[in-house]
Amino acid sequence: MKTPIGKKPAALRPARRHQYHLLSVLFLLLLIFFFSSSLAYSGGFHWLPTIQLKSEYDDNITFDNDNEISDEVFTCSPAVTFSYLTERSSLDGSLAVDILRYFDESNLDTEYQRYRVDGSYQLSEKFRGDASAGFIKDTTLESELDETGLRNYRQDRRRWNLGGGINYQMNERTSWQIHYTYGKTNYDGDENVDYDSHTVVGQLNRLLDNQRDTVTLQPYYNYYDSSISTVNNYGLQAGWNHVFNETCELTVFGGARYTHTKYRRHFYQLAFVPYPVFILDEETETDGNWGGVANILLRKSAERWSATLDYSRDLSYGSSGETLRHDRITGRFNYRISTRLRAGFTTGFSLSKSDDQYSDEDSQYYHFSPNLNYNLTENHRLGITYTYAHMYDKTLSKNSKYDRNRIWITLTFRFPHS
């Protein structure tokens, strides 16, 4: 993975610890878990506290292609989900904290935070408004790998999201909606580039006479802005959803996009003012191209099993300030062996390639993760999961293929209202 011009990769550094804030959040969650069960249900308000303990072995904790380091990791994850429902409004969300502690590499100790809230309000018989907000504090190693298919230098990341929209039901079979989302992503250190994003998505839906098929027209616009680049991405997709029966459903989207990117290149040049001196200068380069977008989702369930297969092709924005063509296939399968015992797996394969002529990202990423879960009681679950991940980074001159093995045991406690 390359870094922006003029920036060099830094060695792993200790994560910044906001101890007082974390302790306050953890204390509040523990109070909810153990002392508020009598309030867990009040009218239309519901909440469910959980806590998960995870013990993990990882043979390549930074997913490095050269310097593989193995370690054991302990994670404590308290969380609360909540919902509120009335005749005209709904609200749901979650608060979650992951506290990671490494046995040897204590400089990697960190805390993840994930907060989310979504709401809607029925403005009239045909109009409904919705809004959402969220905050994530995590590291690039896991999050950027999932979002872009690229392995980045491990660095703390903070992301804010805020959005809202309008839905209009024209008649029983036709509806339209428009939604706007603002995002802000900040990274600690200099290896990655902070950026803002704006997304506007419109959608027109029509249910056909057979009551099984829905056709959709979806225009959208993405805007990304950082110190490295500014991206305008325009797209249009047509979609079709078909319900075969109560247990099988297929959704297909396909279309085209046009992307215009302006890159800012910084360099030093010699100037005489009136004596010789090097000054920082900037030049811009632009690139425009067309591309295809697609999404195919198939869901199937039976009495004892369920399966999902998903393919997508879209444009991603990398943390080094460049656009990427990202193809991804993911699959999920779950099987109920007995009343208490369940088995399953998740798998995925992605291709990530630069979408412009000024960078040369080209990676293939694959992962496979079987799991086994046993319900000790109705609210206590024991699980074991193994994950194999493999990366092929074609931009590396040596050690371009490398992998990672992880295995962990989890114990999950739910605290529902009695």
Instruction: Identify whether the C-beta of residue 311 lies closer than 8 Å to the C-beta of residue 328.
Output: yes
Instruction: Identify whether the C-beta of residue 374 lies closer than 8 Å to the C-beta of residue 347.
Output: no
Instruction: Identify whether the C-beta of residue 55 lies closer than 8 Å to the C-beta of residue 383.
Output: no
14: pLDDT strictly greater than 60? no
Instruction: Identify whether the C-beta of residue 40 lies closer than 8 Å to the C-beta of residue 416.
Output: yes
- Please check whether residue 85 lies inside any domain of the structure: no
pLDDT of residue 355: 82
- Please check whether residue 375 lies inside any domain of the structure: yes
Per-residue pLDDT averaged across 224-247, rounded?
94
pLDDT of residue 376: 96
pLDDT of residue 206: 97
Per-residue pLDDT averaged across 197-209, rounded?
96
Q: List % helix, strand, coil for the chain (3-state, nearest 5).
A: 10, 65, 25
Which strand (E) or helix (H) includes residue 177?
A: strand 174-187
As a whole number of angstroms, the distance between CA 113 and CA 74 comes to 16
Q: pLDDT tens, 359-371?
A: 778 899 999 999 9
As a whole number of angstroms, the distance between CA 206 and CA 193 comes to 41
Residue 272 has phi, psi (to 5 degrees) of -120, 110
DSSP string, 280-322: EEEEEEEEEEEEEEEEEEEEEE-SSEEEEEEEEEEEEE-TTS-
Average pLDDT, the chain: 86
Task: Indicate which CATH number applies to the domain containing 128.
Answer: 2.40.160
- Please check whether residue 90 lies inside any domain of the structure: no
Beta bridge partners of 233: 222, 259
As a whole number of angstroms, the distance between CA 132 and CA 336 comes to 34
**HSE-up (13 A, CA, CB side) for residue 281:** 8
Beta-carbon contacts of residue 384 (< 8 Å; ≥ 6 apart): 371, 372, 407, 408, 409, 410
pLDDT of residue 277: 66
Per-residue pLDDT averaged across 84-113, rounded?
93
First to last CA, the chain: 51
- Please check whether residue 356 lies inside any domain of the structure: yes
Pair of tokens at residue 214? 């829905």
- SS3 at position 380: strand
- Please check whether residue 272 lies inside any domain of the structure: yes
DSSP string, 50-92: EEEEEEEEES-TT--SS----EEEEEEEEEEEEEEE-SSEEEE
CA dihedral 143→81→93→305, nearest 10 degrees, is 70
Distances (CA, A) of 221 to 56, 197, 257, 358: 41, 11, 9, 23
For residue 6, give the nearest of 380, 321, 343, 344 by alpha carbon: 321
Q: pLDDT tens, 401-410?
A: 999 999 999 9
Q: pLDDT tens, 104-150?
A: 999 999 999 999 999 999 999 999 999 999 999 999 888 888 888 88
Q: Number of folded domains in the chain?
A: 1
Instruction: Identify whether the C-beta of residue 331 lies closer than 8 Å to the C-beta of residue 350.
Output: no
pLDDT of residue 395: 87
pLDDT of residue 360: 79
Q: pLDDT tens, 158-185?
A: 999 999 999 999 999 999 999 999 999 9
Pair of tokens at residue 347? 């798998």
As a whole number of angstroms, the distance between CA 85 and CA 40 comes to 14
Q: How confident is the model at residue 152 (pLDDT cuts 50, 70, 90)?
A: confident
Residue 108 has phi, psi (to 5 degrees) of -95, 0
- Please check whether residue 148 lies inside any domain of the structure: yes
The proportion of the chain whose per-residue pLDDT surpasses 70, expressed as a percent, equals: 84
Residue 4 has phi, psi (to 5 degrees) of -60, 155
Domain that holds residue 209: 124-414
Q: pLDDT tens, 237-290?
A: 999 999 999 999 999 999 999 999 988 766 556 666 666 666 655 677 888 889
Pair of tokens at residue 282? 């900037």
- Please check whether residue 94 lies inside any domain of the structure: no
Q: How confident is the model at residue 35 (pLDDT cuts 50, 70, 90)?
A: very low
34: pLDDT strictly greater than 90? no
Which DSSP symbol is given to 210?
T
- Please check whether residue 139 lies inside any domain of the structure: yes
pLDDT of residue 266: 60
User: Taking the complete model, does pTM exceed 0.95, yes or no?
Assistant: no
Beta-carbon contacts of residue 263 (< 8 Å; ≥ 6 apart): 228, 229, 284, 285, 286, 287, 321, 356, 358
Nearest 5°: the CA angle 241, 246, 249 is 30
pLDDT of residue 149: 86
Helices vs strands, H then E, count in the chain? 2, 19
